[in-house]
Amino acid sequence: MKNRRYHYVGPIDILRDKTSCERVKVTCYEDVVVWSQDHTNERIFTFVIDDKKNLWIADRHCEHVACARGKAIFAAGEITFSLHKAQVLFITNQSTGYCPEPESWEVVKDVLAAIAIDYPPYFNQVCIFRRCTKCMQINIVKDHIYECAVCESPLDTKWNFHP
């Protein structure tokens, strides 16, 4: 679903620490360069697109919920920027705290285009998330096998994280 807002669905103890990391709002490529220089030339980041469609990045070890300050988001994942030109080299929707659908790409590409950063045609790595209705574990579906990695119960074929 395009423009779905995703609420945090991960562990409650991580939610309690929702302001623990430094982050920066990216309004142009220069924001990425400055942030990277201030953080040992890192170029792989945790990212979220907030409810106002702003791109925020933080150290890749920062939890998405901390980068989002506990709020609902339109997209989340990891992002790798070129440090030589305004370009995303690699991007994924991997966030087990928000479990965004692949369709969140539509918002991601619109936001990147609006701030003049080139991007790939789609997520380089796509994650499909499902919650097991038996044991409540969050799963990443692999090889199109909809089976819980913990209890081996069948997983829903449709996205099933609801606030």
Q: Domain extents for the chain? A: 12-126, 128-163
pLDDT at position 2: 63
The sheet with strand 23-26 has its strands ordered as 23-26, 55-59, 44-50, 73-81, 88-92
If we measure between CA atoms, which residue out of 99, 79, 90, 91 comes closest to residue 4? 99
For the chain, 163 residues long, give each residue's pLDDT as a single digit of tens: 568 999 999 988 877 777 778 999 999 999 999 998 887 767 899 999 999 999 999 999 999 999 999 999 999 999 999 989 999 999 999 999 999 999 999 999 999 999 999 999 999 999 999 999 999 999 999 999 999 999 999 999 999 998 6
| DSSP-derived secondary structure letter, 45 | E
Distance CA 75, CA 127 (A): 12
pLDDT at position 12: 84
| Residue 39 three-state SS | coil
pLDDT at position 144: 96
